Amino acid sequence: MSDLLLFTEFEELKELLPEQTWAPAPGEGVLFFGPASARARCNEVGGFFVLTGKGLSLSQIRDSKVRHKDFACYEWEQEPKERLFCFNLLLRQARRRWELQKLKSHLIRENQELQDARDREGLKRRQWEEGRQQKSLALKKASAQLRKRIFFLKRLNEAMDLKDVVAMVHEEARKVRGLGDALMAVFKDHQARILYTSGRAVLEKRLSQIPPLQSPAQWRQTLADHLNRPIGPLIFLEGSKSGFGLFFEHHLTAEALQEVVDEWKLRRVGLELAVDRFQLAQDLEEAALFWEKTFDGLGEPIGIFDGDHQVIRANQLFSTDLMNHLEDRLVRDEGKTFQVESYALQTGREVARGAKVIHLTDQTSSFQLKQHIIQTEKIAALGQLAGHIAHELNNPLTGIRSLCQLLEKDLTLDEQMRQDIHAVEEATARCQNIIRNLLEYSKPHGEDQRVKADVNEVISNTLPLLKSLMGRHRRQVSLSEKPLTALVDPHMLQQVIFNLIANACQAMSDGGGETGEISVTTELQDGKIHIRIQDTGPGIPAALVREIFEPFFTTKPVGQGTGLGLSLSLNIIRGFGGEIQVDESYQNGAAFVITLSQVS
């Protein structure tokens, strides 16, 4: 602690007490000796003021003690000895006072500090208490929400399909005041389905067009249009992978809205997983269905067998009938011919060990082609043979017939015998007819016989020859006005037309003898000449349409037809590069269409 210092402006006093140390300036902790005029200056700096002077008046002293409460009054004109004594006394008193004052201020300061510290501590404590309460409330709320969230996510796991998911979301939404119906949009391949609740049921609608996700207003309009009801303001939550969108109708305040949005954002991951799961399941199902349909839709029978020859899978065409004949190389089924091919099934799975795929390739057309070639060769050989036989037979037949003709003229024969001879003559004529046909059939149709001829003209020339054949039947001829030029042998073509018309007449006469109608039409279609000959006879049974063109096929009674007419006709027309077909759609009889290429 610093000592009390002395200060005065009285130089006499400094000289009077030379052993004293005087402070250079007034201040606190200073005993200030000065006249009354210096008092204010001393008090200002907190020093102890001692009114000092020579011959101080009583009123001055009273003023000093009562009014100004100065520390002391010092009359320094007294005896030097007395003066020193007083001074020392003053000094001691001042020092004590100074000590006390310092002690007091120290105590006050300490007390104040203590008080301050206590105040600060109290504030901290209050704040901490408050914080603790708030924290605990938030914690409780958060943990309740977490529980709900976990419960919801657990339930999502139990959902069987997307509709369940929507129902659960809807149920959750109804728990929040101000939140309305939940709707879910599922996007896939630029299409959207809307799942929405109606009562307890979850219904589904397809959206014809998807509004932009950034536009809730458009969504609101679209949903209202599709669900036929007004839709309130919407909360929209988009799945991060844009696989789905979740909508809630609501009438929430901005603050509550944020809370709901935050909560559902937290649930979004779980929802996404659930939606993905069902989307994936659906995709798988669709893919499986797609493959199944593809497999079933294959145009040839395919079956997959395990190592024990049991069917694992087979497509629709793979009938049980076929399965019984798999040992063979060729299998016939319903008019088709299949070649059996098999190869190992490679899937890398245990199940597939020893499994094989049996694939039946449709060989019908190539098989038919082969058959056709064989048939053609057969016919060619037959033709050659027929030529020889015909020639050998023709000679004796000519003789027989001629002799019969002569015998019939013999007037000595009785009627019975003449009829017998006539019968022989007729039979011989039929034999000759057969042979003529055979020869015609076996005759090669070289191109050199073909000339450019007007088909209409050929037909026109043929028709008069048919008069006796046509008998009572009506004739309807409609020839194209344009000339129809084809590369044909006119005589042969004439023979074909004659043949077809003769067949028609015969068919109509057989069918009850009523008057029928034959129509002959020609027209040009896409560069092809069509000659159509149709009758009103009984027609050709569908089952026989193919067979009628086979050589030696006939429905006529024995002796009336050789079965070569149509076969021969087809041969001739094919020789011209054309075709004869039966128009199976014609119902009123038989219709044959000859097709030839128009040449310029």
Partner 1 sequence: MRILIVDDEPLVRRSLQRAAQMRGHEVRVAENGVVGKKEWEAFDPEVVFVDVLMPEMDGPTLLAQKPKSSAAKIIVISAFTGEYDSEVALKMGAHVFMAKPFEDILQVVMRAEELSHGRR
Q: How far is the CB of 407 from partner 1 (least distance, A)?
A: 9
Contact 563, 553 (CB under 8 A): yes
Please work out the total of residues on this chain that contact partner 1, with binding judged by CB under 8 A. Answer: 20
CA-based angle 494:572:491, to the nearest 5? 25
Question: What is the spatial distance between Cα 214 and Cα 222, in angstroms, rounded to a whole number?
Answer: 14
**Residue that has been written with the tokens 């389905």 in this structure:** 193
131 binds partner 1 (CB under 8 A): no
Query: Interacting stretch for partner 1, rule CB under 8 A, among 179-187, 217-225, 400-408, 446-454?
Result: 400-408
Query: Interacting stretch for partner 1, rule CB under 8 A, among 142-150, 387-395, 414-422, 553-561?
Result: 387-395
Question: What is the spatial distance between Cα 582 and Cα 591, in angstroms, rounded to a whole number?
Answer: 6
Q: Which of 50, 38, 41 is nearest to 5 (CA)?
A: 50
Q: How far is the CB of 395 from partner 1 (least distance, A)?
A: 4
CB of 233 or CB of 387, closer to partner 1: 387
Strands 244-250 and 179-188: antiparallel
Q: How far is the CB of 463 from partner 1 (least distance, A)?
A: 23
Q: How far is the CB of 403 from partner 1 (least distance, A)?
A: 4
Q: One-letter amino acid identity for 351?
A: V
Contact 352, 346 (CB under 8 A): yes
530 binds partner 1 (CB under 8 A): no
Q: Which of 523, 544, 519 is nearest to 595 (CA)?
A: 523
Contact 303, 309 (CB under 8 A): no
Segment 440 to 459, residues that bind partner 1, using CB under 8 A: 443
Contact 300, 316 (CB under 8 A): no
Q: How far is the CB of 412 from partner 1 (least distance, A)?
A: 13
Q: How far is the CB of 380 from partner 1 (least distance, A)?
A: 15
CB of 209 or CB of 395, closer to partner 1: 395
491 binds partner 1 (CB under 8 A): no
DSSP annotation string for 242-267: SSEEEEEEE---HHHHHHHHHHHHHH
Question: What is the spatial distance between Cα 27 and Cα 24, in angstroms, rounded to a whole number?
Answer: 10
CB of 451 or CB of 544, closer to partner 1: 451
CB of 43 or CB of 405, closer to partner 1: 405
How many residues would you count in the chain?
A: 600
Of the residues 84, 237, 323, 400, which one makes contact with partner 1 according to CB under 8 A: 400
555 binds partner 1 (CB under 8 A): no
CA-based angle 99:105:111, to the nearest 5? 135
Q: How far is the CB of 441 from partner 1 (least distance, A)?
A: 12
Q: How far is the CB of 436 from partner 1 (least distance, A)?
A: 8
Question: What is the spatial distance between Cα 287 and Cα 378, in angstroms, rounded to a whole number?
Answer: 53
Where are the strands (E) in 151-207, listed by range?
179-188, 191-198, 201-207
The mark string for 318-357 relative to partner 1 (x by CB under 8 A, - otherwise) is ----------------------------------------
CB of 166 or CB of 386, closer to partner 1: 386
Residues β-bridged to residue 52: 74
Of the residues 397, 434, 466, 596, which one makes contact with partner 1 according to CB under 8 A: 397
Segment 404 to 433, residues that bind partner 1, using CB under 8 A: 405-406, 409, 432
Q: Where does this chain bind partner 1 (CB under 8 A)?
A: 387, 390-391, 394-403, 405-406, 409, 432, 435, 439, 443
